[in-house]
Structure 1
Amino acid sequence: MAAGAAQGEETEVDPRAPRRNPDLFGHAVAEQSLLQTAASGRLPHAIILGGPRGIGKATLAFRFARWLLAGAGAADAGPSLFGEVAAPTSLRVEPDHPVARRISAGGHADLLTVERGYDPKRKKMRGEIVVDDVREISSFLRLTSAEGGWRIVIIDSADEMNRNAANALLKVLEEPPRQALLLLVCHAPGRLLPTIRSRCRKLNLQALASDEVARLLLDHRPDLSGEDALVLARMADGSIGRALELADAEGLVLYREMVGLLETLPRLDGVRLHRLADAAARGEADELYRTLTDLLIDFLARMVAGAAEGGVREVLPGEGVLMRRLSGFGRLDQWVEVWENLRALFGRADAVNLDRKQVVLDAFLTLGAAAR
């Protein structure tokens, strides 16, 4: 079951989607923590799975849900040499298991997924989880388990709830029913209400190493070269989800073009800038525009962080020379202000649908002014 999805909307078909993905990489410690907690018989009613976006938090949430709904690993456990039941060492449930198949199809009666819903007025996904989505949790948890076991709710992601939705969730957490578990996937746990955080167990997941992200990326995109996969992994900052998004969106090509344009500062190449802005402004170019603005913000953040540390954080070979040159044009606090101003510009553009070409032009002109 899924709350927030529009009726008639196509269900997930991407095999990498967390509800379908049977594999988990780089989070063995978190997996063992969940296994030990479940084995203790003192499983909390709510767990926050925190960490950077795209590192596998939702994948772990669905993995744990499958394991619990399949009988807490009983199917995998077998007699040991002396006849005892062997303790499970993994949360893995095979994809052909009946529970895994129902969860993959979004049809398990004892699992509810709460996520951002479709806005029929704007004809796109909402930017937040609204109170009506969260209210479904109370109705769901009042029902008796269809299969006599756990009732599980996955909120993906909890930091996308608006204030009313968060307050509705708080009421659920104040009086949780027996044998119910809420898994709160959260990119920024600090954004949650303190009263929500205080009622949940916290499990933090760490970003993956760049070489591990590159290896996983090549598994999904064998058409990439090893060098390009490593650059994308560095751009994604330890997030395999982000690396896959960048690869699918030709993010590396776009990033190289953006860096090439930045190298012309302080006197921008006007022809090149207008060509890039025109490409981002096309009606079908939503993904290109989002990727470009994200990459520009990320570049500035790494440049500022590197300057503060007395080093560089480059993802492309030789990029550090550009970063040092740009950061030398002004004080560190001035570049922090530029970064903040561009984030605000892109936020306003999304909120009031500003002309995208002008937004891109204004962003680079702001950088040009700062580099004088």
Structure 2
Amino acid sequence: MSLHLLKTNSFTNSNTTFPLISKFFKKSHSHHSWLIYGNQGIGKASSIYKLINELLSNTANTVYGEKDYYHPDLLVIDKLPEKKEISVDSIRKINNFLSLTPLQSQFRIVLIDNCNYLNTNAANALLKILEEPPKNSLIFLISHAIGQLPFTITSRCIKLHIHNPTYTSSIQILLSLLEDINENYAKKLITLSCTSIGLAIELHNNNALDDYQEFIGLLNNIRDISIKQIWKWLDNVEDWKYISMFCHHFTAKLLKTASNLENLYYINDEERKLIYSLCSKCDISILIELYESIQYLLKECTIANLEHKQVILAIFNKFRNITLLNDQPI
């Protein structure tokens, strides 16, 4: 079963998404496993913690929120900051936890955040739990990359898809949260983050918008730049995930523009002109191949722990080859 929640106008989802989740849960409360998915930074975890608060509200203890929580009938599992994945040892804790009788509430509740980071052994261990869940147990999975989860797991859950806020409402929310920015800057952050408020705030805090605009500048002069210039830019960007995000964002926007999709927003005129120029050089089949090959490189870079600089150099070469089509400068 899959449920799609309407776009919300609240970052915390307290006015819209949480009531919808609560309503759906009450209708299907007999089901033990729930998968909440959507992009990062749109309030998935906030909404589920509100639901958990509601489920445990008749007890003496209180579940306060994502970082400050404790309840004897709640087990929270997440990827540790220093780890790349959620291990099987973390999942094994669930068996012991769910084997006990609820102490202060009706349920024993397990919340697995960022469940797309489950390694193979952890996913297999979780599958066994989902197949034969103990009585009075509830398991909530939160994912920002549902495609990375095995079908055997997703098929055993009721799926709730939380959509991003609208473009206009995202800008207003961001302006209310970051009082030191203007509307034009907020629009750029929202465009780069694809209306993810949490990601937009993170990009702002790490000055990542400047890094992306330098990335566009490099692509715009792809025929003339040297390897040293590319590597210098890479050294200035602190986190690999931003570099990966820049490549994904640009190629996705390139493909959407070539597909003549409406209501597309661009970071600035330089990005828009560059994308239109690249689209004019080749048909959409070549751009689809470009998108798929770049996504493959980014994925393999993470999985196989490839050298980041060599992967980005290969991606820049792919863009250079596109500009050479018809041998016309950008």
TM bracket, shorter-chain basis: 0.7 to 0.9
Contact 2:46 2:66 survives alignment (8 Å): no
Matched, 1:334 2:286: yes
Give 1:69's aligned residue: 56
Q: CA deviation at 1:167?
A: 2.2
Give 1:147's aligned residue: 104
Matches within 5 A, 1:294-313: 294-309=245-260, 313=264
Give 2:22's aligned residue: 35
Change (3 A) 1:148 1:133: same
Paired with 2:14 and 2:232, the residues of 1 have a C-alpha distance of 42
Paired with 1:102 and 1:312, the residues of 2 have a C-alpha distance of 36
Q: TM-score, normalised by structure 2?
A: 0.83
- How many residue pairs were aligned? 314
Paired with 2:58 and 2:112, the residues of 1 have a C-alpha distance of 22
Contact 2:86 2:118 survives alignment (8 Å): yes
Q: CA deviation at 1:240?
A: 1.4
Q: CA deviation at 1:294?
A: 1.3
Paired with 2:242 and 2:190, the residues of 1 have a C-alpha distance of 15
Q: Report SS of the residue matched to 1:99.
A: coil
Paired with 1:297 and 1:102, the residues of 2 have a C-alpha distance of 32
In structure 2, the gaps of 5 or more residues are 1-9, 325-330
Q: CA deviation at 1:216?
A: 2.7
Contact 1:145 1:151 survives alignment (8 Å): yes
Q: CA deviation at 1:346?
A: 3.1
Q: CA deviation at 1:205?
A: 0.9
RMSD: 2.8
Paired with 2:52 and 2:281, the residues of 1 have a C-alpha distance of 52
| Residue type at the aligned position of 2:235 | A
Q: Report SS of the residue matched to 1:112.
A: strand
Change (3 A) 1:276 1:117: same
Matched, 1:99 2:62: yes
Q: Report SS of the residue matched to 1:309.
A: coil
Q: CA deviation at 1:310?
A: 6.0
Contact 1:37 1:43 survives alignment (8 Å): no
Q: Report SS of the residue matched to 2:36.
A: strand
Q: Report SS of the residue matched to 2:126.
A: helix
Q: CA deviation at 1:222?
A: 1.9
In structure 1, the gaps of 5 or more residues are 1-22, 73-96, 119-123
Contact 2:63 2:70 survives alignment (8 Å): no
Matched, 1:364 2:321: no
Q: Report SS of the residue matched to 1:184.
A: strand
Contact 1:306 1:312 survives alignment (8 Å): no
Q: CA deviation at 1:325?
A: 0.5
Give 1:125's aligned residue: 83
Match of 1:346 among 295, 298, 303: 298
